[in-house]
Homo-oligomer: A and B are copies of this chain.
């Protein structure tokens, strides 16, 4: 951490910074320049954050120079992690296709979507029983009945289940049905929920908040990890920008950046980032090529009657094309092909 003093800071101001740092058990190095003085801090950065040095008189800026997360960082854990979900490994050397309906609507629709997904090479089924919707008038999901349907479809198809949890007090219930808990983009700052899934003993799929920086995304993962759960898969799903041609802007560079900063696997959701069916396959190819550990796509047997996000769901013919991509591209990146 580096404290940059204002040009008009006095010796007393500098001394006050040094004193506070030393009182917290850190060391402070003072470098005096022509127009400004810089104080470099050595020690426990977390403690320094709580010192609120920025509020001291004469302080112009406080610059952090190391990462504020630890458990999920690659600096503290250089080897990449593999997260296993219902027997399916996600991480180096593998490529995982997760697919399913945005929302679980009925046993028939869910089974049909799961069979489509499986035929395309998906090894995990994703479907929503609890749906966070911007409008209180939109379909909110089937709740526990949806979880039961997912469990039945798992029994029928053998695909482990990934499903979203939106409230801390549903975590236990959802975890009793699901193989992996999904945290959606709107809950990336719902810290109580993050802590609850951290304690639930199931792997977690953590979507990036739609306005979260990569650092904040890793901090959200740190909340989960802190409760003893390191089985976390990060998922880039597009960020909010000024561009309106797509639903969100897929930040494709976030994949290698997050993989460089963290040992956790990183997946991509090409369905929610583009929000358009015709973009799913190009964005899936981009995600595989950039080095993602997997992708997450919406499929629906009849998208035109879907209760949620129909415009972005893949249909049968799209899935055949996607399957071809998932067989062909991952091996070029040193990953096992998807057996679709």
Q: Which residues of A contact B (CB under 8 A)?
A: 2, 4, 7, 29, 31-36, 38, 40-43, 46, 49-50, 52, 54-57, 60-61, 63, 65-66, 68-69, 75, 132-139, 166-169, 185-187, 189-192, 195, 210-211, 213-216, 219, 222-223, 226, 239-246, 249-257, 260, 273-274, 277-279, 282-283, 285-291, 303-307, 310-311, 313, 328-329, 332-333
Contacts and interface: CB of A to CB of B under 8 A. Distances in A.
Given A33-B42, A136-B222, A210-B211, A282 B291 contact: yes
A38 B27 CA distance: 13
Contact of A211 (B7, B191, B211, B250): B211
A141 to B, nearest CB: 11
B256 A50 contact: no
Contact of A66 (B35, B242, B243): B35
Contacts of A246: 253, 257
Given A43-B34, A52-B303, A257-B245, A189 B191 contact: no
Main secondary structure of the interface of A (DSSP, over half): mixed
A166 B137 contact: no
Contacts of A75: 7, 35
